[in-house]
Chains A and B, each alone.
Chain A
């Protein structure tokens, strides 16, 4: 690892993943933490706690990740995990419109109940199942977005980029389309979150609820970062 040189300031960031069952939350975490993918991932039971470091130019962020189970029966436990979170990844499956509906519910619940300054990223996963040229510009201004009919070309996309993106802009969310399978945009999501966490809310300690009260202030409640492009690959996590 890159822990060699000068000790950069390091702080931990609590992150929670929410979203309907089987959208790929655990797969995104597995890609981020282990750079691995499993074709038939079993559903999460309860929640899993993982950590991963993310090196930014000026500091190191240690993500403390709660990967929650998407199944309905665990929904009542969710507040326990997002209560102290500084950031959330709300995931939907872009081949499954109902999962976006569920994602919107989570966003609303977070805005109502989570810490006011929470940084939320909306993530449309399984980008590999679309037949778009996903190479450089996954968020690009593809105009052929209403995709439902494209299935004979192997395009399983059911949620257009434009629809999700405009929703994200309205709500002041970061927005990405990813593939845990190919790895596309996965690190970028986490880097963007790391960059979006306001300096003031960063503290070293992990303790539950440690950096909560004081540092999180009024005006941060809408950290509006709709331009993930500028902080993508160039200062990506070195992990």
Chain B
């Protein structure tokens, strides 16, 4: 029988051979696309849809889709070798292409890289300096902000003023947002510096079938190329910690600890507005949702009075492109990336100084959209707007705001689960999991669709019908509601929640029974509700039983099932096993491989859509350290998930860390060590972890769950 989550594998786990993708992507196309966006001075190119403007000294690059919906821009290749290989089909190379989701075709290109001014840092982590031609430049080198060149499909071209742009520079004050060269710039500069000599950046196009377990072989060339001096250096302090020696002048994440502080409301006279705007602009991340009619729906930061102006500007900009049927996907201003996603009547905007890639931000926006669907269902959403395009969605969404915010904050803190779109499971012995699965199956009642046991935020067991799988994006919504947002848990008692799981069926509601079992409260009186727990520490102890049905009247049936289930789990010792496993927490890297220089890693099993990782402690417990780690993982992930010919093996050295990413057909592996760790040490560490993973696979992951 298949694993519990098979069939729900997101398409991202599909892989195609390079020959296919190259067929869709001929060299001519490359050339053509290249013309569109990458000509050094393409201001007269009538096909250009990339609108670059010089604004108050900061560059804004706007990427759009062409009217035909084709990608207007080529994903810039991260590496010379790769670019060459890519344009020479028929070399018999096998390249695994990541297909990120069904929306592949709509998947926007990454915006062009901002230009690299001399002496200043580049935003492009791995962009080799040898290809200046690929750096985007302002295509209209006109100083005045108002003048804008635009081409129409009928070949006409016009100059006209766009008040919206002025509005950006004034009220959004992009220059303000980007002053101080925000987050990613500083550390990325160091990365790209170290990568300029080609020795530190490696990639391989070796057939992936040979890759498993032979990382060292793949990296051998690079290792030989090391200079003696480097070898000498690298023998020192291999075990240093990442992000430890960060210079004092690296203020990139200095205010990140205030990221989640609430901004006060604008007072009645608007006197504090100025000061609130300063706080507002200091945020690293913004998420805004508005209707296409310009009604604000949600903003992570700032109250309505503070954001109204921005919402207006955003609506103007997006609608301007929409009217031309030319969908705006995003733009970059200084160190700030704006990603835009349009779903029917809704506009989603993410504004980030944290260095995520365009597609990563877009995935985050998609999760927010799914949360809205989860509250309303698609037909209701559509109907609301078709009846009244001017609908104020805040009323119908009442109460969803906290769920959106906890999702948003999960992304801002950095979530391995969201990044990898995979689940984490609680590690228990295979035989123990077998017993738990069977107990679920035995106690199952007829209304049950899905049953889950979750402990410490990790999945212990799933029961599901053979024909239906559980999609990770649906589970993300459930986990967010139950474990990140406070509402449900804090209420005590048992809950009966109507919920739409969009990936399962976006047209209707399911009914979710939720009960938190107090781990420290053994006897039957435990349905005397445990007192609420607000501490973060307590969160990890909770065991939740989640039973989902299509029948809204089945609460008591599922409650009886839960009582039966808990009784059985106590009787057969499983409850004790779960509790022990939860209280042990995740092992540290050195528990897994004694003496390893690795400080942290992520391992995703692609077939199981599950991942595992060691504990964040002791090195990444603070919010900022954890964010740095997650930013690094985001970079590695972005480089290995670009649309065309992504890198399969990546070794990334920077001033404060060294890291390795390794993607095969079976797994994705990312690991991080201190800056002085040699490539050999990293490779060896990675090999050992992967060997451990193979050994422990059936404990770490749910393979073959309870299916009925």
Contact = CB atoms under 8 A, between A and B. Distances in A.
Interface of A: 21, 26, 29-30, 33-34, 36, 38, 41-51, 65, 67, 69, 71-74, 77, 80, 207-208
A51 B530 CA distance: 12
Contact of B398 (A26, A30, A43, A51): A43
Nearest to A50: B493
Contacts of A33: 492-493, 529
Contacts of A72: 395-396, 398
B531 A34 contact: yes
Given A42-B485, A42-B486, A43-B487, A48 B399 contact: no
Contacts of A80: 552-553
- The 9 tightest CB contacts between A and B, nearest first, are A42-B487, A50-B493, A46-B497, A43-B399, A48-B493, A49-B494, A71-B398, A48-B491, A47-B496
Contacts of B494: 48-50
Contacts of B495: 45-49
B569 interface: no
Contact of B490 (A42, A46, A207): A42
A207 B402 CA distance: 35
B488 interface: yes
B491 A26 contact: yes
Given A44-B491, A46-B496, A77-B498, A21 B486 contact: no
Contact of A49 (B402, B481, B493): B493
Given A43-B399, A49-B494, A49-B495, A36 B487 contact: no
Contacts of A44: 487, 491
B532 interface: yes
B559 interface: yes
A30 B487 contact: no
Nearest to B491: A48
B645 to A, nearest CB: 45
A67 B395 contact: no
B395 A208 contact: no
A36 B531 CA distance: 8
A23 to B, nearest CB: 14
Given A42-B402, A47-B495, 15 more contacts: A29-B493, A30-B492, A36-B532, A42-B485, A42-B486, A43-B402, A45-B481, A45-B487, A48-B492, A48-B495, A49-B495, A67-B493, A71-B398, A72-B395, A72-B396
Q: How large is the interface on B (under 10, 10 to 19, 20 to 34, 35 or more residues)?
A: 20 to 34
Nearest to A33: B529
Give the interface SS of chain A, mostly helix, strand, loop or mixed: mixed
A79 B490 CA distance: 25
Contact of A73 (B398, B402, B497, B528): B398
B160 interface: no
B366 interface: no
15 contacts: A29-B493, A30-B491, A38-B532, A41-B490, A42-B485, A45-B487, A45-B497, A46-B496, A48-B496, A49-B559, A50-B494, A51-B527, A69-B399, A77-B498, A80-B552
Interface string B385-409: 0000000000110110010000000
Interface in B299-321: none
Interface string B25-45: 000000000000000000000
B555 A45 contact: no
A207 B559 CA distance: 12
A208 B555 CA distance: 10
Interface in B487-537: 487-488, 490-499, 512, 527-529, 531-532
B159 interface: no
A45 B399 contact: yes
Interface string B347-390: 00000000000000000000000000001100000000000000
A51 B529 CA distance: 8
Contacts of B490: 38, 41-42
B230 interface: no
Nearest to B403: A45
Q: Specify which of A30, A34, A49, A80 lies most central, judged by the most chain B CB atoms within 10 Å of its CB.
A: A49
A43 B488 CA distance: 9
A65 B555 CA distance: 13
Q: Specify which of A45, A49, A77 lies most central, judged by the most chain B CB atoms within 10 Å of its CB.
A: A45
A47 B486 CA distance: 15
Nearest to B488: A45
A27 B528 CA distance: 17
Contacts of A77: 498, 552
A208 B499 CA distance: 23
Contact of A21 (B398, B496, B497, B552): B398
Contacts of A71: 398-399
Contact of A46 (B398, B498, B527): B498
